[in-house]
Structure 1
């Protein structure tokens, strides 16, 4: 009889897989049974069959695994643990429980396995029951339950368990740090991090990523700079790339990205998303193309960013190409991806395709309904927007603030003043939604467009909080259209107080003065702009030709085809002028009739 040393890691190989949580990879021991070794003595046949059960379970062949288990005349505790884990891994927690109850002998791994299974199925109270019933616990038992509590947002319960631990290790500390960060308790997380007797790369990564996710980028950067250089792997670097992108520091993010020797899908996604969210769609699409070239398969997160980039560029051609990729690779069932697709078609000007894309969503969620309602609103389709709003409610969805913002926008595009007030009242009185700044800005804009400037000003005065520059900007724009110098001056002053370097307020006020013939005031505003160091922002536009996006900035002559472009523009101007001349000629002749 051969004597074999059985490794629990080998039999529970599924626990060695990394888990992706909160945009970072968490060590497997945070979310499952920890790695420990048991010296068990088995025959060669039992050992081989145990390995087969584990392998069959991991590949989804649980029935074959059970058949092998039933045929085994001799079973050891590892055999039982393997089939129990296999069942809950494949979604059959009840069968795992039944087998656990019938085990002739249980060891600590058996109990930990059941705790992990209950946590995996979201049954934390049952996991805690097994934990309490254990005849003996080890650090791994505590870690599994703490991680489960953290994963499901029960940070206080995790904290109590952590405080009761007789012995803590790096996994215990790291799990609690992640919990505090998820709960927004940044100071507690940092205090625990500083108190750790030993840190590993996961600890550093959880702490740095937590800072990034909580909007504390510079604290994350400081910690990253102090992190041991040999511990800076692709995971923590990717977290910093995300942080730089959130701060709009794309060049810094790109330097870190290029420094990753083995770039994976996660690092590509972080960089592509950063470009897309910051309006640099062309670079996002270029990186997406590079992914394909090196053989990396995009996932749903990649494609959401790609559609965002296509939306910002209004690149219908690239958007359709990505849509084809989505269909061919079976991503069409992903709701978030379909929502991005609906938005992309809308922003590219093809509302019909946007509606068709919405119709293909099997189970639309609230975001889906908001996206299509917003699309109709942006295209001025008032009736369609409200029709889908009513359909959304019939399907059992409660509208939120975004829904009503889209409805107000639809009212604005259609010039529905009274209806906009009805929508606002419905939001506040019926659904109890507290209006935000953007709701008031939309309402002020609607009143302003309709020439009801005094009413718009009254809305601003009745707001429960101070108006921001966006709201005053709506009033200023309306004052410019209807030449209301008094309200224009008020709005421009408020914008100047809130954002002294915003050129829009100065320019709009100058235009109001010019239209009213108040040239001395125009000169005064321009002198004030110069004294304050405020420069008028130049307008820009872009167009897609072939597979390239061409940008044009006001006054810029750097485009390589500038001479050809100007020649074509001159020809168009001549044609327009000749058409005007013909129209005048025809009109003059018709007057003799």
Structure 2
């Protein structure tokens, strides 16, 4: 690996002794080859550099009072003194006013203190320093601590892409961040959307792979993964439903001297829920108790939430009731409640879980373990059950639960802001905005402050009810309560403007959001694109799309591409829509059913049926209906997902083909629809045929050459009529329309 080193200043170089050069070069080489910035190494390097600089300074004899080197030292001393006094704002001003680049200690410390502030402005300042150093090829001036803290700060602020890029850049350069830094980024990535969980697994693998390259454990002691790091990456696997990878990482934990804790098994509960294995939940609980790992309320709450996710409210209620009664035999209760699930022959992932949960294979007379102590339901547990009622549409039970919680003597079981917000959400879902407002008033009267989530739910309700004036008043109420709207607030308002066809209002809210320093999210961009798409302004939608591509904080995903393609399709602009599809393919994003559906609609609107044939051929390849060499390549590529068209797409294509008299292709499409279990709309196709093609091939004056060219089309037309059930040559019957006869030989094949 080639390491770029900063060129030494000429004055210092001329006065350094040969021994000092040798020491500095040796230390720099060792430092750059391992790039392990532990505190001891950094301190030794700084001491040697200080000694060398001091010795060189004493050998310089000048006649002036101050040299450029001395002025540089003075300004660095001033900056370092401000940083030591924790005057970060003054230090930043001193940095911006400095005519030269500060020394490594000042730069690293300034990055650290800006990262500790954990504010958008501080993060922006730290990023500007990184950009400057990268531009001047001086990134090696920063130590791993400062880069790691910057990555954590970026992750906390929601900029996980930047945080991930910082850590990957460090690893490529040979730096090993502290485990607390890189595991925090893994944790944030695991919980984020898009490809976040996949990136979390990649980052974890990249760090651990780098660690294994070092033979001396002491060198990587501070970077080795701990249990928290494994829990973070296991959470990513659970979110992705990757059972094999989950087991592989779980098996690696002992090698890294990490023991699974209760959080590890809580994540395993999530994995079981994600892959729809309700039968495994009780085994996870039993395994925790069997290993004598201290149980926590989060585990029980996760179980309740999982059963609610499966739609099994009865079992969720049994867990809560057993806790209220102080029972310890919860495992037995769960076994009895889910006896049918346990008896099912489920071979999916059994091999994986038999290693994770060996108690799955215990004999039937095995007595499940008891809880270590009595757990009493708390506010969070009751609220989880309340969310189950809300999900099932049981509004009365939701309200009764809130009232029961308010009557609890134990303060740990009384409703909090999450409980009230759940009730508000339940009422908003059924359109009872007035009652939702009453709950908010009751919440305030109880001394519980509504938070941003509560107000955002109210905003969503008002926008769904097309009450934008009330939504604007709610925004003002939020601000008066000291709660600043966030991206979710503005996304909701933008979507509300779309519902009332107020494109200008949507743009106004988008600009207001950016003016307040709130970073637009992926939903912000796509929602605004939708506003311009619905209003028939595809070029403005494309401008928003271009802004989204330039924003490093968001990723242009398939939803954004489809929104842009739909904007052109609504306007019947086929060429730009096709160009976008080609562009997205080049970027490795493959069209899905929605993409092809928009293209098909655009083809119908633009009246270019020939394009429908090309589109149908592409769809056939993606569905595996053709066996060309290109198709085999597509099949062998794991990146290209198999397409499963829906009724809307196939019906649109069939409609185009019938109107254009492409009966052979129309028959292919409707046959494929029937294979997929989709019933084609024969009534519609019959009407189209009668209205547009009933007089086909009726001319008695066509030339023989023209009649010969019609043979294949006539065959296809007769076959299509046969499929519709109209009179045709296959029946040997005569079909008359409005009293006009048609010669039998015109349909002869």
Alpha-carbon distance in 2 for matches of 1:87, 1:173: 29
Alpha-carbon distance in 1 for matches of 2:383, 2:683: 44
Q: Secondary structure at the match of 2:490?
A: helix
Cα shift at 1:256: 1.3
Alpha-carbon distance in 1 for matches of 2:388, 2:468: 29
Q: Which residue of 2 aligns with 1:358?
A: 581
Alpha-carbon distance in 2 for matches of 1:153, 1:287: 38
Kindly provide the CA deviation profile for residues 70-112 of structure 1, in whole angstroms up to 9, marking residues without a partner as x. 659999xxx9643442442565644652366689997xx9223
Structure 1 residue 378 corresponds to structure 2 residue 605: yes
Alpha-carbon distance in 2 for matches of 1:394, 1:153: 38
Kindly provide the CA deviation profile for residues 51-85 of structure 1, in whole angstroms up to 9, marking residues without a partner as x. 9643331134753797899659999xxx9643442
Q: Which residue of 2 aligns with 1:298?
A: 520
Change (3 A) 1:443 1:95: closer
Change (3 A) 1:351 1:444: same
Structure 1 residue 337 corresponds to structure 2 residue 555: no
Q: 2:184 aligns with which of 52, 58, 63?
A: 58
State the TM-score, normalized to the length of structure 1: 0.56
Q: 1:85 aligns with which of 217, 231, 234?
A: 231
Alpha-carbon distance in 1 for matches of 2:499, 2:436: 21
Kindly provide the CA deviation profile for residues 213-234 of structure 1, in whole angstroms up to 9, marking residues without a partner as x. 4556565455445432653222
CA contact (8 A) 1:374 1:385 kept: no
Cα shift at 1:433: 3.6
CA contact (8 A) 2:231 2:264 kept: yes
Q: Which residue of 1 aligns with 2:251?
A: 98
CA contact (8 A) 1:281 1:309 kept: yes
Alpha-carbon distance in 1 for matches of 2:617, 2:316: 43
Cα shift at 1:114: 2.5
Q: Which residue of 1 aligns with 2:466?
A: 248
CA contact (8 A) 1:241 1:253 kept: yes
Comparing 221-230 with 395-404, greater Cα deviation is found at: 221-230
Alpha-carbon distance in 2 for matches of 1:156, 1:18: 40
Q: Which residue of 2 aligns with 1:208?
A: 424
Change (3 A) 1:328 1:156: farther
Change (3 A) 1:227 1:408: farther
Alpha-carbon distance in 2 for matches of 1:177, 1:387: 52
Change (3 A) 1:105 1:234: closer
CA contact (8 A) 1:146 1:158 kept: yes
Structure 2 counterparts to residues 501-580 of structure 1, below 5 A: none
CA contact (8 A) 2:549 2:556 kept: no
CA contact (8 A) 1:411 1:446 kept: no
Cα shift at 1:142: 0.2
Cα shift at 1:137: 3.1
Q: Which residue of 2 aligns with 1:403?
A: 649
CA contact (8 A) 1:332 1:338 kept: no
CA contact (8 A) 1:116 1:144 kept: no
CA contact (8 A) 2:612 2:653 kept: yes
CA contact (8 A) 1:150 1:158 kept: yes
Cα shift at 1:269: 0.4
Cα shift at 1:177: 2.4
Change (3 A) 1:372 1:215: farther
Q: 1:170 aligns with which of 379, 383, 404?
A: 379
Kindly provide the CA deviation profile for residues 150-176 of structure 1, in whole angstroms up to 9, marking residues without a partner as x. 457665654454444342111112222
Change (3 A) 1:406 1:154: farther
Q: 1:347 aligns with which of 570, 577, 581?
A: 570
Cα shift at 1:334: 0.8
Alpha-carbon distance in 1 for matches of 2:435, 2:683: 34
Alpha-carbon distance in 1 for matches of 2:450, 2:282: 36
Q: Which residue of 2 aligns with 1:432?
A: 677
CA contact (8 A) 2:487 2:520 kept: yes
Q: Which residue of 2 aligns with 1:141?
A: 299
Alpha-carbon distance in 2 for matches of 1:184, 1:409: 39
Alpha-carbon distance in 2 for matches of 1:423, 1:231: 62
Change (3 A) 1:17 1:337: same
Change (3 A) 1:120 1:415: same
Gap regions ≥5 residues in structure 2: 1-151, 159-176, 187-202, 238-244, 327-375, 409-413, 624-642, 695-749
Structure 1 residue 275 corresponds to structure 2 residue 497: yes
**Structure number, greater radius of gyration:** 2
Cα shift at 1:339: 0.8
Comparing 196-205 with 443-452, greater Cα deviation is found at: 443-452
Structure 1 residue 116 corresponds to structure 2 residue 270: no
Alpha-carbon distance in 1 for matches of 2:654, 2:403: 50
Change (3 A) 1:280 1:222: same
Alpha-carbon distance in 2 for matches of 1:440, 1:232: 55
Comparing 273-282 with 218-227, greater Cα deviation is found at: 218-227
Kindly provide the CA deviation profile for residues 558-577 of structure 1, in whole angstroms up to 9, marking residues without a partner as x. xxxxxxxxxxxxxxxxxxxx
CA contact (8 A) 2:428 2:458 kept: yes
Number of matched residues?
Answer: 399
Change (3 A) 1:340 1:132: same
Cα shift at 1:301: 0.8
CA contact (8 A) 1:420 1:443 kept: no
Q: Secondary structure at the match of 2:517?
A: coil
Cα shift at 1:134: 2.2
Kindly provide the CA deviation profile for residues 268-315 of structure 1, in whole angstroms up to 9, marking residues without a partner as x. 100001112332112111211222222222111111211111112222
Alpha-carbon distance in 2 for matches of 1:448, 1:284: 45
Cα shift at 1:342: 0.5
Alpha-carbon distance in 1 for matches of 2:182, 2:321: 39
Alpha-carbon distance in 1 for matches of 2:522, 2:656: 30
Structure 2 counterparts to residues 11-90 of structure 1, below 5 A: 53-60=179-186, 62=204, 63=207, 71=218, 81-89=227-235
Structure 2 counterparts to residues 478-493 of structure 1, below 5 A: none
Q: Which residue of 1 aligns with 2:401?
A: 192
Gap regions ≥5 residues in structure 1: 1-12, 20-50, 453-593
Comparing 380-389 with 248-257, greater Cα deviation is found at: 380-389
